[in-house]
Structure 1
Amino acid sequence: MRILIVEDDAGLREVMSRVLSEESYQVDEAADGEEGLYFAQTGVYDALVIDIMLPELDGISLIRQIREKMMDVPAIFVTAKDSVDARVEGLNAGADDYLVKPFALEELLARVRALFRRNRGIDTEMTLRYGPLVLANHEAIVEGQHVNLSAREYALLEYLVLHKGQILTREQIFNRVWGIDTEAVGSVVDLYVHYLRKKLSAFGLDRHIRTIRSVGYTLREE
């Protein structure tokens, strides 16, 4: 699961990022609203955590622009404003939840988990199944045998399984698995698909990953 944090307080942003990363979420960070909008438009995220009082572009304007572009990624506002009017304004603008500063980091984690369950029907501790393949707790198992995957290979396989039957562009895969803030280049997608196919070949699953010429890849329906 990939989360974008848009927060101008560097200390708070770093703490939130660390805590979410420790829970195995992939986290990108933006320090102002304009940067946050760029990340949201060019990346693939499962959730947004947005401060309302942001430089360049405030959080209310940010979420409105995101929603105007028909992006339905769930979002939590974090803010020091605790009035009913402020909460109503944020929710009406397109946020799904509201967290008032100062807050316990355990509450942030709980609200993120609840957001996934409520808005996407996804359990953050879910088990994914694809034929004989089981993905759970960052482990891939086929008929009782562990598939030795790196963290990046696992993230790639998880993304393919979550979107089986869909054609995913190389850009979508790159943004989801590697993120915006990376020194990697787009060609790394082809390299890791090669790695993944090689490791799945022992189980006869490599042929299920189809190459869509000049576009990307798809994991065929079971």
Structure 2
Amino acid sequence: MGISVLLVEDDFDLAAAVAGSLEIEGIACDHASNGVHGLELATTNKYDVLLLDVMLPRMSGVNLCEKLRRNGVDTPVLMLTALDSLDDKIAGFNAGTDDYLPKPFEMEELLLRIRALSRRRSSQTRKLTVADLEMNLDTHEAFRQGTPLPLTPTEWKILEELALNSPKVVTRERLEHAVWDDSETSSSLLKVYINKLRKKVDAPPFAPMIHTVPGVGIVLKAEDGNEQ
């Protein structure tokens, strides 16, 4: 299977040149012209490498990278930037980028870096964070304000699915599929696990984060919501 990349770049001439060169080399390239669209594509689709311009409309490349890392996306990130100061690089690496390529660049060097990054997943992130809840994806440990939450494997799967989609509502059917695949389960079983999870995640003194949206599903977020 070939390499696929997402290019988030607001310079349409540069984007067209990069995409054209990559496709000649057999590398599939999607394009977004602003950070918000880039975030949507990067969280919806699977890519081998993300190419992010630093200065983007609606959301900078650094902020985009940081949001992806917080959402547990470990796709390698190559930052394309005209900003080449040490402080800019430090900010990017702290946000979770894997490599930098200053503009202007040679297409051959871009290709070399893409191929190198595509052979590995990023080591910059293995965490999910929602408000004061943190989940370590390597150790399967969860914390609220640094306090460990003793979760069972099933409770972890439910919480992980909720965190990956936060602040969107997750339907009960999707939760059941995420935990039990296509095995037949009763809705009451999911309800039992949700109640157990609430007792751990939302135990005092923590503010409730797991909310039921009647007729829709379950949502994980910091704000108060409708519960039943």
SS at match of 1:41: helix
Query: Paired residue for 1:94?
Result: 96
Q: Distance in 1 between matches of 2:100 and 2:111?
A: 13
What SS class does the counterpart of residue 80 from structure 2 fall into? strand
> Greater shift after overlay, 17-26 or 49-58?
17-26
Q: Relative contact order (C-alpha < 8 Å, sep 6+): which is higher? A: 1
Would you say the 8 A contact 2:74–2:121 is kept in 1? Answer: no
Letter in 1 for 2:14: L
Distance in 1, Cα, partners of 2:19 & 2:92: 22
Match of 2:116 among 105, 114, 117: 114
2:62 corresponds to: 60
Shift of 1:91: 1.2
Which SS does the other structure have where 2:97 is aligned? coil
- Equivalent position SS for 1:77: strand
User: Is 1:37 matched with 2:25?
Assistant: no
**Structure of larger gyration radius:** 2
CA distance in 2, matches of 1:118, 1:110: 14
TM-score by length of 1: 0.53
Q: In structure 2, how many angstroms separate the alpha carbons of the residues matched to 1:119 and 1:43?
A: 15
Match of 1:73 in 2: 75
Q: 1:118 to 1:46 in 2, by over 3 A?
A: closer
- Counterpart CA distance in 1 for 2:105 and 2:121 is 22
Q: Give, in whole Å, the separation in 1 of the partners of 2:95 and 2:67.
A: 9
The whole-number CA distance in structure 2 between the counterparts of 1:38 and 1:116 is: 21
RMSD: 1.7
Q: For this pair of structures, how many residues does the alignment match?
A: 123
> Could you say what secondary structure the match of 1:38 adopts?
helix
Deviation at 1:29, TM superposition (A): 0.3
Q: Deviations over 1:158-210 (max 9, x none)?
A: xxxxxxxxxxxxxxxxxxxxxxxxxxxxxxxxxxxxxxxxxxxxxxxxxxxxx
- 1:26 CA drift (Å): 1.1
Aligned partner of 1:22 in structure 2 is 24
Q: 1:11 and 1:60 mapped to 2: Cα distance?
A: 22
Q: Residue 140 of structure 2 corresponds to which residue in structure 1?
A: none
SS at match of 2:119: helix
Once the two structures are TM-superposed, the CA of residue 116 in structure 1 deviates from its matched residue by 2.0
SS at 1:114 equivalent: helix
Unaligned segments of structure 1, at least 5 residues: 121-211, 214-222
Stretches of structure 2 lacking an aligned partner (at least 5 in a row): 123-180, 183-228
Q: What SS does structure 1 have at the residue aligned with 2:56?
A: coil
Deviation for aligned residue 1:118: 4.8
Distance 1:35 1:26 in 2: 18
Partner of 1:155: none
Q: TM-score, normalised by structure 2?
A: 0.52
